[in-house]
Amino acid sequence: MDDDALAAHLRDLEDALLDPAVRASEALVDDLLAPDVVEFGASGRRYDREALVRLLATHPRTDGVVIEDLVLRRLAPDVALVTYRSRHGGEPGGTGGPRANRSSIWRRDETGWRLVFHQGTPADG
């Protein structure tokens, strides 16, 4: 898979993690998260896999989060870093609610690409 196709695929996976139907389904979330996943949320909290699955299930609404300016960097043949800005509410390119700078590391295993690390940091404007 070339870098453009991989970037589009990983963006789709990031979007899936924002989908209320996916977030509410432990089975669907399980397909997207690696067993050793860790997240540092924009709140500053650290989440392991169990806490992250619970968080996603109990907070299925994402209030129209928009992903902007996604950039892919391959770290190894089966490991990729994506960075992007997220914005709550509105349409791409518009103005809206709170923003965050986000980074995710995805690793490919026998089942596909799975999230191993995510961090969100509040961003100005």
The structure tokens 């209320």 sit at 20
The whole-angstrom separation of Cα 49 and Cα 37 is 5
The whole-angstrom separation of Cα 6 and Cα 8 is 5
pLDDT tens track for 62-121 = 667 889 999 999 999 999 999 999 887 655 555 566 788 999 999 999 999 999 999 998
Q: Does CATH place domain 3-123 in 3.10.450.50? A: yes
The gap between the terminal CA atoms of the chain, to the nearest Å, is 34
Helix (H) or strand (E) holding 75: strand 65-76
The whole-angstrom separation of Cα 75 and Cα 93 is 29
The whole-angstrom separation of Cα 113 and Cα 108 is 4
Position 62 scores a pLDDT of 65
CB of 16 closer than 8 Å to CB of 8: no
pLDDT tens track for 18-59 = 888 898 888 899 899 999 999 998 788 999 999 999 888 887
Give the domain ranges of the chain: 3-123
Q: What is the pTM of this model?
A: 0.88
